[in-house]
Amino acid sequence: MGMVKGLKGLRHIALKVKDIKRSKAFYQEILGMQVVWEPDAQNVYLSSGSDNLALHEHSADTEPSPAAQLLDHFGFIIDETETVRELEEDFRAKGVKIIHPFKTHRDGSASFYCADPDGIVIQMLYEPHLSSQVTR
């Protein structure tokens, strides 16, 4: 099965967060993402250049649906193995919770897992095929 016409890849994810200001600060300060649209006080969209992350604040009376709890993790592609290692050290120094420390994988990739302020798991990943791709 070939690529679907017009499909550019999975580059957008939306997360429900408890405190929009706290989450916005995490993704800006820790991951260096830029705000691209902030339509109101409960929603913000950020980008690292070739992606789009939506943060939607939810209140206690609008808990996420059970399906929303099925997310295992999502990831950011990193340029080199050594950069992944350096980022883990940097994240630790900034107080970011590390879930699984740096590890190299059988396919030649390397990664570590951390958590955002809501405990959402993020993989910081060097992946030989994806890391070598040129993005805009």
Domains of the chain: 9-59 (3.10.180.10), 72-136 (3.10.180.10)
pTM (2 d.p.): 0.88
Cβ contact 45:54 at 8 Å: yes
CA separation for the pair 17, 24 (Å, rounded): 10
**3-class DSSP state for residue 93?**
helix
**In the predicted structure, residue 36 carries a pLDDT above the cut 90:** yes
What is the rounded average pLDDT of the residues 79-90? 96
What is the rounded average pLDDT of the residues 22-48? 97
**In the predicted structure, residue 47 carries a pLDDT above the cut 80:** yes
pLDDT above 90 as % of the chain:
75
Residue with tokens 């190299």: 104
Hey, what are 34's tokens? Answer: 């830029």
Runs of H (alpha helix) within the chain? 20-29, 81-93, 128-131
CA separation for the pair 26, 126 (Å, rounded): 21
What one-letter code names the amino acid at 15? L
CA separation for the pair 72, 120 (Å, rounded): 8
What is the rounded average pLDDT of the residues 95-113? 96
Q: How wide is the angle at C-alpha 44 spanned by C-alphas 39 and 50, nearest 5°?
A: 115
Hey, what are 16's tokens? Answer: 């429900």
Hey, what are 52's tokens? Answer: 């789009």
**In the predicted structure, residue 66 carries a pLDDT above the cut 60:** no
What is the rounded average pLDDT of the residues 85-106? 97
Q: How wide is the angle at C-alpha 43 spanned by C-alphas 99 and 135, nearest 5°?
A: 65
Which pLDDT score, from 0 to 100, does residue 1 have? 65
